[in-house]
Amino acid sequence: MKKLVLFLSILWSLQASAQPERENPSPRTWFQRYETAQKRHESLKLQLEYLKNAVDEAHRRTEYHRDHYFHYTRVSYELGQTQGAYDALTQIIIARNANDHEAQDLLGLVCWKLGKLEEALIHFNAAIEEKGRNAVYRLHRGNLKNQLAVQNHEPRKYDEAILDFNEAIRRGQDTILYQMYLGRGESYLGKQVWESAAADFRQSLQFNRNLGFKAKAFTGLAQILYQLKNYDAAIDTFSKAITIDNQLHEALDGRGRAYLATDRVSESLADFNNALEVVRLKNYLYNRSLVYTKQKNYRAALSDLNAAIAAIQGDSTAQPFFQRGYVQYFLKNYSAAQTDLTTAVRLKPDLATAYSYRGWAKVQIAKSSQLPEDFLQSITDFNRAIQLEPNNAFAYCGRGLAQYYSATSLDKAKEDLDKAINQDPKLAEAYLGRGKLRSKETPEKAISDFDQVIFLDKGENQVQAYALRGQLQLQLNHFQEAESDFNDLVRNFPDSLVYTQQRGITRFHLDNYAASLEDLQLHLRAFPNNATTFLYLAKNHLKLENYAKSVDWAQKAHRIEASNPSILAFLKMAQQAYLEYRKKTEKATVQWYAPNRLNINGLTIEHYVDTLPNANYIVLHGNVKSISSIQSIQLNINEKPHPVVENRLKDGSTDFEAKIRFDSTMSFVNIELKTKNQAGDSTMDKQIKLIRRANPCPKPKRGLALVIGNRNYKENPLQNTIHDAQDVADSLKTLGFQISTLYDGTFRQLRDAIETFVDSLENYELGFFYYGGHGGANQQSNYLIPTDMIGEDYARKAYGLTTFFDKLNSAQEKSCQLVMILDACRDSLMNGFNPIPTNPIPNNTIIHFSANAGQKAQDGSSNNDRNGRYAYHLLQYLTKRIRLDDIFGKVRDDVSRESDNTQTPVLVNNLGNSVLFLKR
């Protein structure tokens, strides 16, 4: 203790000498102020000030309080004063002869932040040795060992880390279990123990309430799915991490690799671009070069590879140099390709592929010079590849093929393969290579070679031999023998799907269409974009007279291989067969357009007749579609023929229109529409019940609207909501509404705007409220989320619809009709509206929710970049003279169709018998 007091005296002597003599609060008083500030979550700077006063006053009194000084050091560390914290903690440990587990652990964290990983491990070990039951110390050491395993390429460190995490989980508190499971999951991920890693990441998510750690857990799960080649699921899980933290470059890079693995090249490129905006790592540059290479954008790929290689310090792996040589080869920069491939084989002397490509670069150079010695240089490279694998038939086969492409004879290639077989008669690869060479000229001998492979090898070579022998049998029209080979594949290699396409084709030729379809569908699981598979699926369905499916599969094949004449010819044949079938079987269909909703199901439809101008007639407008020629259209009104105006359209359909008048004595209008085409007659009967009512709303003014768009949230900002609100306001203005708008409203602004709107409704016939932004629900109560809200404290920080409805109910005698549109754009962090609220809906009110419960209202439309999905379709109908409930019905149908039913708007109608038109 005396040593420590002496050290502190030296450290603070200057400050103490400068202090005038006065009565100061005691060290304990200053420390209590710090504890109060900590409980109140006041700033770290203020906490540090209190702690500094505590230790200064202790020094002035020649006292020493270890806790005061320790907390002073800890807060300094949290404020980023790392080096100072390191110096002070080192002195504490020296003074206490290292017997201070808290200081040891904190010093370990400080060393870690300073990059002194090995020293950090020493301090974590000391802390755990003194107090091994502390779960936090185990957590810290486990995380450090994970990093050491990666940095030093020491896989055994993962096992040591797992032991620490096991003990931490056993002893840990619920508040930090998510960190422990996350750390252990990363250990298992490093060990490639996928199931255990996934289980831990899920446990971390279960206990987690920290968004940053959630993003890391989602990223870990996605990495596992990527390694298991479940790329679509990996993409979805990476996306969850990115939604939480769009700056998490590891997730952006991972999703980019998953997109690349599924040939979604544009999405892959976007993710690599975003990752590189966060941090410019050579791995990300290399990955983006793969995308550019796949796009055949070789110059962009070369630029990235140049930058990636420039970032390499000292020796590195051969792959970047090989990839750049590969790109240079396709750019026809053969000399540059040769230079990079030379570097690749220097870094990895056994990289046979690099020798092969360097050989091909020399072949291309030799083609320009036509010098024999240049070709000899090419053969030298292929010889080197063979030297690396002297007993491997594929190496000799590679040289044989190189000899063929460099204008040497096939006999020499065969000699290489024969030599391999003579050297090792059990070398199945040699038979396989020779069988491939023989396949075109002497298929019977090739079959003999494949027989040897099947006899000698029980692995992948045997799979290829069965497949190749089956293909040859198929080419020779030996369908039974081909099916036998593919059946052997099924029996011996049940997990392989390579065989299924060829067996499916074989069974098609054997007229076994059902079995053929089963095989081809299996093949699609492993090879989802194979034109030949699509073509034979189409052929099977045509034989089974499933014409629509036949055309669909043929179109998919054509999209992949548009220049394939066989596919194009079959597609035309299938389309013609389908057309003839439809002409014989499909009757004409009718789409009605009318303000009385004649397009709904049922025979009787009620039509409310207002005291509006021109309310004594109904205009029927519809369209008849038919795959064959329309022979007649006949309309009967109340069992009497009625004139119809027909208009033939360019698409072959026919528009029709009829104006039906009614008088005060009519209660029903019976409609019968008859159409006839090649498939026969079709009849549609409808009955309209006419209900008259007076206009209940004699207000002096037409319409008042409040339009709100919230976009710039502090958490989870949106994209299109302000544009949506602006466009809705413009449309309502053309309809004569008095407009009030609010953009990016805080809680107070939101509340004041709504209350002003409700108070002003008494002078207006019609009210219109539109809200675009985040929405939330808590215990079945709905809330509008202001832009200044953080967290999920809806009751205090959001504006409740219950409050809104209460104000409307108290003012319901002041307004006639109210339209509410709640377009809640949100992500997985906002639970959205509950479209069936428990509190009463105000009378004469109609509410349209842009999405059902549990659904996401898309903040973006496939139709344009300006509007959200719901708002885009609403704007198509808002200014038309259509009943409002019909408008909402059309919007619901369009949104559901575009989203494939993942977003379905919901209507809550309390208008009673009212008929509401926004445009008169």
For 19, which DSSP code? S
d(CA 21, CA 69): 23
Which three-class secondary structure state does DSSP give residue 784? strand
The phi and psi torsions of 407 (rounded to 5 degrees) equal 75, 20
According to DSSP H, which parts of 40-176 are helical?
A: 44-60, 66-78, 82-95, 101-113, 117-130, 135-151, 156-171
Residues 3-51: pLDDT tens digits?
444 444 434 443 444 444 445 788 788 878 878 888 888 887 887 788 7
pLDDT classification of 459: cutoffs 50, 70, 90: confident
d(CA 400, CA 430): 12
pLDDT classification of 543: cutoffs 50, 70, 90: very high
Residue 797 reports pLDDT greater than 80:
yes
Of 363 and 894, the one with more pLDDT:
894
In this prediction, residue 127 carries a pLDDT of 84
What angle, rounded to 10 degrees, do the helices at 82-95 and 101-113 form?
150
Query: What percent of the chain clears pLDDT 70, i.e. is strictly above it?
Result: 83
Residues 6 or more apart whose Cβ sits within 8 Å of residue 284? 249, 253, 272, 275, 276
Whether residue 127 contacts residue 134, with contact meaning beta carbons closer than 8 Å, is answered with yes
Q: Between β-strands 817-824 and 764-773, what pairing exists: parallel, antiparallel or unpaired?
A: parallel
- Residue 805: name the closest of 792, 794, 818 by CA: 818
The CA-based angle 658-662-665, given to 5 degrees, is 160
d(CA 764, CA 104): 73
Residue 260 reports pLDDT greater than 60:
yes
Residues 234-243: pLDDT tens digits?
999 999 999 9
In this prediction, residue 261 carries a pLDDT of 93
Mean pLDDT lowest among 363-372, 545-554, 725-734, 805-814: 363-372
The DSSP annotation for 557-613 comes to HHHH-TT-HHHHHHHHHHHHHHHHHHHHHPPPEEEEE-TT-TTSSSSEEEEEE-SST
d(CA 851, CA 892): 9
| Average pLDDT score over residue span 283-312 | 91
Token output for 34 = 């710090």
Residues 375-399: pLDDT tens digits?
667 777 878 867 876 765 545 655 6
Q: How many residues does the chain have?
A: 920
| Average pLDDT score over residue span 705-710 | 96
E strand intervals along 214-331: none
Tokens 């029903």 identify what position? 668
Rg of the chain taking only CA atoms, in angstroms: 38
If 0-12 CB within 10 Å is exposed, 13-18 middle and 19+ buried, where does residue 778 land?
Answer: middle
Residue 596 reports pLDDT greater than 50:
no
Instruction: Give the containing element (helix H, strand E) for 448.
Output: helix 443-456
In this prediction, residue 229 carries a pLDDT of 92
Q: How far is CA 217 from CA 21, 143, 237, 271, 457, in A?
A: 56, 14, 10, 19, 43
| Average pLDDT score over residue span 495-522 | 88
The phi and psi torsions of 683 (rounded to 5 degrees) equal -130, 140
Residues 740-759: pLDDT tens digits?
999 999 999 999 999 999 98
The phi and psi torsions of 321 (rounded to 5 degrees) equal -70, -40
For 40, which DSSP code? T
Residues 152-166: pLDDT tens digits?
888 898 998 889 888
In this prediction, residue 425 carries a pLDDT of 80
Residues 398-452: pLDDT tens digits?
566 566 555 567 788 688 778 768 777 886 876 877 788 788 888 889 999 899 9
Query: Over the chain, what is the mean pLDDT?
Result: 82
| Average pLDDT score over residue span 643-659 | 85
Residues 6 or more apart whose Cβ sits within 8 Å of residue 574? 538, 542, 547, 550, 551, 554
Residues 577-591: pLDDT tens digits?
999 998 999 899 888
Residue 702 reports pLDDT greater than 90:
no
Q: How far is CA 369 from CA 342, 358, 375, 405, 667, in A?
A: 21, 17, 10, 16, 96
d(CA 426, CA 341): 33
d(CA 327, CA 346): 19
In this prediction, residue 388 carries a pLDDT of 76
Residues 653-678: pLDDT tens digits?
888 888 887 776 677 888 899 999 99
pLDDT classification of 600: cutoffs 50, 70, 90: very low
- 799-800: strand order across its sheet: 775-778, 781-784, 799-800
Token output for 772 = 């675009």
In this prediction, residue 120 carries a pLDDT of 86
Query: What percent of the chain clears pLDDT 90, i.e. is strictly above it?
Result: 31
| Average pLDDT score over residue span 822-850 | 69
Taking the CA atoms of residue 572, residue 575, residue 577 and residue 578 in that order, the dihedral angle to the nearest 10 degrees is: 170
For 826-841, b/e burial (b = at least 16 CB within 10 A) is: beeebbbbbbebebeb
For 324, which DSSP code? H
Cβ neighbours of 870 (radius 10 Å): 31
| Average pLDDT score over residue span 221-228 | 92
